Structure 1
Amino acid sequence: MNIKFVLFSMLFSIALVSYAQENKKPNIIYILADDMGIGDLGCYGQKFIQTPNLDKMAANGMRFSQHYSGAAVCAPSRSTLMTGQHTGHTPIRGNKEVGNNMEGQVPIPANTITLAEILKAQGYVTGMFGKWGLGFNEGDPNNQGFDEFYGYNDQKLAHRYYPPYLNHNQKIDSLEGNDWTNKVTYAPNKIQDHRLKFLEDNKDKPFFAYIPLVLPHAEIISPNDSIFKLYENKFIETPYTVDNDYTSDYGPNIVKHHYASVAKPLATYASMVTRIDVYVGQIIDKVNKLGLADNTIIMFKSDNGPSVEGGTSPDFFDSNSKFKGYKRDLYEGGIRAPFLVVWPNKVAKGSITDHVSTFWDVLPTLSEITNSETPDNIDGISFLPTLIGEENQAQHDYLYWEYNIKGGRKAVRKGNWKGVWYNMNTKKQGHLELYNLAEDISETTDVADKHPEIVAEFKQIMKDARTASALFPFEN
């Protein structure tokens, strides 16, 4: 046999394998915490709560300092993620229930093009494991691009961590021992089992695993296991009891969508954040054991700022860090949250970026990575150049948020300027507050009276950036 031919064949085979590896579609895992503040992670400054796996993610990848949630509450934030549209355009702009004694939230319309559908068209197996909140029927995950769904469709049911059942595609999966009185099966642990099985089952195919965790959203509750024992006696505690209007304990008289009382709220909340970290560690370990790490993108984010409900204590833990506001606020503390990305050999280890980005940028970013077509009606901009260290990163002209309850709230960020307008639809109307984030990151000093030209520009943006919504009307 001609030795030159053998050598050529070997080199050609190596080149083919190298080309195939370089052009193989990356697996994508997007993990979304629920009501976690940017200050809840060690890599963002947390002092009391242990998050070693997430801190390791930051060390092995990129940490974003200016990445924004899609909204200040659950459902619209998820809608912006799935559609690539901000809350002035995305179909779901608030936590609106279907009503008429029906379960679930107003469904995302059938004709919506979702991130899952885009990736599925590229040959991805798609799975969603956790809290959906975008409706049953036409809005159901199985009808919005997900091959497999396991978890909570109704986000009000997700107020409880020991429900009698979860949804598995179009079936009900009863949870052993749970009957609204007895608490045996901790739902997040059961959902985690399904996540890990999905990774195992689809290790030989490109997959998109969307993992919207329920933790650490209220109710504040945890199994009495090794994770809880890390904090059981660490803090001076004041029990959170039933002596308020939105607390109801498990038992025959339970109000299902309320929250349980909790004897040690600080320890319990801390354990819930650490449980998230444990889940992330299990997912990373599974990816490593399956030999998928080099071709898997893992992203971690929170859907909005920290909650002040159900026994949470964001001020004690400094959950919103140096930022003003909490969940439902359009100040930085309500919408600026942690974002970590690991992509071996693509994203530089230990890198930190101040690129201003947001939920509605995820769809075009993953579309560009997977060579997918991007819908024409999106508001997002791909941040792939930032991830891979290129200098041609496009920038947003502005970011826009709206929230049609709590008196009506809007916010705009443009450059270092931030405009926030509360009580837009009340008799005693508020005014547009203006902050220079470069000088006042905590939004303590309203300088609107000193910059009337910027105020006028922001008012015009708030008017022009949206389309009308019959479901989520915003009159001012």
Structure 2
Amino acid sequence: MLRFCLLLMACASVPWTVAAQRPPNVVFILADDLGWSDTTLYGTTSLYRTPHIKRLAKRGMTFTRAYSSSPLCSPTRASILTGLSPARHGITTPRCHLPQVILAATATKTAAPQNKSTIPDSVSRLKTDYYTLGEAFHDAGYATGHFGKWHLGPEPYSPLQHGFDIDVPHWHGPGPAGSYVAPWKFKDFDHDPDVPDQHLEDRMATEAVAFLEQHQDKPFFLNYWMFSVHAPFDAKQALIEKYRSQVDPDNPQRCPTYAAMIESMDDAVGTLIDTLDRLKLSDNTIIVFASDNGGNMYNRVEGETPTSNAPLRGGKATMYEGGVRGPCCVIWPGQVKSDSRSDEIIQSSDFYPTLVEISKLTLPQQIPFDGVSIVPALQGGRLERDAIFTYFPHNPAVPDWLPPSVSVHRGDWKLIRIFHGGKTDQHRWKLFNLKSDIGETQNLAAKHPALVQELDALIESHLVQTQAVRPLANPNFDPTKHHPEREGIAFNRQAKPAKQTAQRTAGWLPSKDCSLAKKSGQLVVTSTGNDPYLSFNFPKPLETGSFKLNLTLTSNARGDAQLFWGERGADRPFFRERSKTFPIKNDGKPHQYTILMETQADLTAIRLDPSRGPGTIRIESIELKDQTDELIYRWPLK
């Protein structure tokens, strides 16, 4: 609900027990695409190592139900800086790096015929008429610095126009320029010349340390918004090899590159903690650690998705819990109990009013907030709020996608409204009880119609109050081209516990549209159509060069076959530029095929798409040779 932060907030009766003579410093650490199960805060990972985040959490309160304002980055970032819902500020997609400047969201009248609703045009810049969190601290006399990712617009919409004295590396793109490991491609930001393979997060932490040292004698607001762990997917090679030996193929979190990225991110957190301790600033510094959205489930790294958000369903860009629930801890020395936890529901838009209250900032005007101060929760109490809302009127083609939607969380219940997703342009709903069904597997909307109506009324009130630009019913909708059965099927297998995930057969992992089995010395692929494929990660990368994949294959499924391959350092290993299409004889008889590959970097994985239609494909032999015909790898099928 809409809240107002008045000048009276400056007189809030917040007791101080430390450094009363000086306002508290604030460090806001925002990770990019860091999922709820990507840290050791919740006992959901056995691969990733985040000792510094754990160390940070022990100094304050960990929130088990912390939600981003959006399942994508730019909308959440705008909500942190304004305290407003994406439904109100209008940034609902991460398009702020694109050239077109859009300052007001607008409705669209039509959409593609397979869609039941239209998709509004998102705002593409954080307007400078907002009085942002950065400006609030700057005007209160704080030294303000933004380090890392921004993605809310280039000049004249950069951090320098939103209250920050400095902005490093002053980059408006959606991720790091080029890579994480130097050399980078930033316009005016180079790696240290004496560290040729420097990691970007190491360098960013060094820059942040210099800021802390320079301003240790006055209050500061350090906005450390990490590039990690967003694509492109690369990391220190030594760390990748370290985790490669620790990967459990039956664990849905099995990407060594992503695990290495997590460690470098965590190291940067440790650098900041150590610096605050060394400068004797920790006792008067408030620290917020959060993520801008859920873990990435739709890119591919070495043949695998980067991570798994299990036991949550879905991931980045989805409306399910895996897309919006993330790690969060808040440190408030002298006020928040050390190593404490809270199950209160909080959201990104809450941080602005919270920090205003804690820091006793005097605001020059009435500031409307959609978020609330979470000080009562930080002090061990309950929050007085009706609900939180997530507005995402888009339908990106990702695992567990949904059409344009809005959701409400109230207590244990979550309702998703799918705009015009029902019959005759009516909405459609998904209702989940998160206490008993954290994986959102059972839609209870039909069993609780009165509750659906009650929660949907809250959604409607939120949309009215925020003056949201909504999706409209699509007049061009063609029911013959609509595929509602595809909703939510891409991630279901990975959302289950590890023992229920898709199993590898002869080292190959099937896609959702096929199954694998070894029978009579053959690898049998049973395809349901759509996008069947099987992928394989090599135990160790194979040195750059020419390769030949030889296979004997029998098929009665229609469509040509395609071979993709992954190369070290690629953010999308199975990309069309690294693929070969070859015709298949679908006559039910065995035929031999040879596919040539030329790699520009070490070969890490391959993917075989044997057909496009339903049917059975039997692979009698499959082997990889180099350009001299020397055998490199033969898959055991017997």
Question: 1:160-309 to 2 correspondence within 5 Å?
Answer: 160-161=178-179, 164-166=184-186, 172-175=188-191, 184-225=197-238, 227-235=239-247, 266-309=255-298
Q: Report the CA distance between 1:175 and its aligned residue.
A: 4.8
Paired position in structure 1 for 2:52: 53
- Contact kept in structure 2, 1:422 and 1:432, CA below 8 Å: yes
**Closer/same/farther in 2, CA of residues 364 and 460 from structure 1, 3 Å limit:** same
Paired position in structure 1 for 2:377: 386
Paired position in structure 1 for 2:83: 84
- Kindly provide the amino acid, as one letter, of the partner of residue 167 in structure 2: F
Q: Distance in 2 between matches of 1:437 and 1:357?
A: 15
Paired position in structure 1 for 2:450: 453
Q: Report the CA distance between 1:475 and its aligned residue.
A: 2.6
Say which SS state the counterpart of residue 224 (structure 2) adopts: strand
* Alignment pair present for 1:106 and 2:121: no
* Alignment pair present for 1:338 and 2:327: yes
Q: Which blocks of at least 5 consecutive residues in structure 1 are unaligned?
A: 1-17, 178-182, 239-263
Q: Distance in 1 between matches of 2:337 and 2:323?
A: 29
TM normalised by structure 1 equals 0.80
**Closer/same/farther in 2, CA of residues 201 and 472 from structure 1, 3 Å limit:** farther
Say which SS state the counterpart of residue 329 (structure 2) adopts: strand
- Kindly provide the amino acid, as one letter, of the partner of residue 452 in structure 1: P
Question: 1:389-468 to 2 correspondence within 5 Å?
Answer: 389=380, 391=381, 393-406=382-395, 407-422=403-418, 424=420, 431-466=428-463
- Contact kept in structure 2, 1:408 and 1:422, CA below 8 Å: yes
- Contact kept in structure 2, 1:220 and 1:310, CA below 8 Å: no
Q: Report the CA distance between 1:161 and its aligned residue.
A: 2.0
Say which SS state the counterpart of residue 63 (structure 1) adopts: strand
Paired position in structure 1 for 2:94: 95
* Alignment pair present for 1:147 and 2:165: yes
Q: Distance in 1 between matches of 2:184 and 2:388?
A: 41
Q: Report the CA distance between 1:237 and its aligned residue.
A: 7.9
Question: 1:10-89 to 2 correspondence within 5 Å?
Answer: 21-45=19-43, 46-89=45-88
Q: Report the CA distance between 1:267 and its aligned residue.
A: 1.3
**Closer/same/farther in 2, CA of residues 411 and 118 from structure 1, 3 Å limit:** same
- Contact kept in structure 1, 2:202 and 2:264, CA below 8 Å: no
- Kindly provide the amino acid, as one letter, of the partner of residue 283 in structure 1: L
Q: Which blocks of at least 5 consecutive residues in structure 2 are unaligned?
A: 1-15, 102-122, 396-402, 474-638
Q: Distance in 2 between matches of 1:381 and 1:219?
A: 35
- Contact kept in structure 1, 2:92 and 2:392, CA below 8 Å: yes
Paired position in structure 2 for 1:257: none
Structure having the higher strand fraction is 2
Alpha-carbon RMSD across the aligned residues, in angstroms, is 3.2
Say which SS state the counterpart of residue 439 (structure 2) adopts: coil
Q: Distance in 2 between matches of 1:311 and 1:129?
A: 28
Q: How far does the alpha carbon of each residue in 1:349-381 deviate from its partner, in whole angstroms, 9 at most, with x for none?
A: 111111111111100110001112464311111
Q: Distance in 1 between matches of 2:58 and 2:18?
A: 28
Q: Distance in 2 between matches of 1:327 and 1:217?
A: 11
Q: Distance in 1 between matches of 2:97 and 2:470?
A: 16
Q: Report the CA distance between 1:439 and its aligned residue.
A: 2.4
- Contact kept in structure 2, 1:159 and 1:219, CA below 8 Å: no
Q: Distance in 2 between matches of 1:26 and 1:200?
A: 16
**Closer/same/farther in 2, CA of residues 416 and 121 from structure 1, 3 Å limit:** same
Q: Distance in 2 between matches of 1:425 and 1:159?
A: 39
- Contact kept in structure 1, 2:175 and 2:231, CA below 8 Å: no
Q: Report the CA distance between 1:344 and its aligned residue.
A: 2.7
* Alignment pair present for 1:130 and 2:127: no
Q: Distance in 1 between matches of 2:282 and 2:18?
A: 16
- Contact kept in structure 1, 2:88 and 2:468, CA below 8 Å: no
Q: Report the CA distance between 1:331 and its aligned residue.
A: 1.3
Paired position in structure 1 for 2:356: 367
Q: Distance in 1 between matches of 2:87 and 2:362?
A: 23
- Contact kept in structure 2, 1:468 and 1:474, CA below 8 Å: no
Say which SS state the counterpart of residue 38 (structure 1) adopts: coil
Q: How far does the alpha carbon of each residue in 1:111-147 deviate from its partner, in whole angstroms, 9 at most, with x for none?
A: 0111111111211111111100100223210000111
Q: Report the CA distance between 1:342 and its aligned residue.
A: 2.2
- Kindly provide the amino acid, as one letter, of the partner of residue 216 in structure 2: K
Q: Which structure is richer in relative contact order (CA contacts within 8 A, separation 6 or more)?
A: 1
Paired position in structure 2 for 1:241: none
Q: Report the CA distance between 1:101 and its aligned residue.
A: 7.9
- Kindly provide the amino acid, as one letter, of the partner of residue 78 in structure 1: R
Say which SS state the counterpart of residue 474 (structure 1) adopts: coil
- Kindly provide the amino acid, as one letter, of the partner of residue 203 in structure 1: Q
Q: Report the CA distance between 1:236 and its aligned residue.
A: 6.7
Q: Report the CA distance between 1:404 and its aligned residue.
A: 1.9
Q: Distance in 1 between matches of 2:336 and 2:441?
A: 35
Q: Distance in 1 between matches of 2:466 and 2:302?
A: 35
Q: Report the CA distance between 1:93 and its aligned residue.
A: 2.0
- Contact kept in structure 2, 1:364 and 1:382, CA below 8 Å: yes
Q: Distance in 1 between matches of 2:191 and 2:75?
A: 29
Structure having the higher helix fraction is 1
* Alignment pair present for 1:158 and 2:193: no
- Kindly provide the amino acid, as one letter, of the partner of residue 220 in structure 1: F
- Contact kept in structure 1, 2:297 and 2:306, CA below 8 Å: no
Q: Report the CA distance between 1:315 and its aligned residue.
A: 9.1
Q: Distance in 2 between matches of 1:470 and 1:416?
A: 27
Q: State how many pairs are aligned.
A: 421
Q: Distance in 1 between matches of 2:198 and 2:133?
A: 32
Say which SS state the counterpart of residue 377 (structure 1) adopts: strand
Of all paired residues, the percent bearing the same amino acid is 29
**Closer/same/farther in 2, CA of residues 310 and 332 from structure 1, 3 Å limit:** closer
Q: Report the CA distance between 1:300 and its aligned residue.
A: 1.0
- Contact kept in structure 2, 1:134 and 1:153, CA below 8 Å: no
Q: Distance in 2 between matches of 1:314 and 1:300?
A: 31
Q: How far does the alpha carbon of each residue in 1:237-291 deviate from its partner, in whole angstroms, 9 at most, with x for none?
A: 89xxxxxxxxxxxxxxxxxxxxxxxxx9811100111111111111000000001
Say which SS state the counterpart of residue 356 (structure 1) adopts: strand
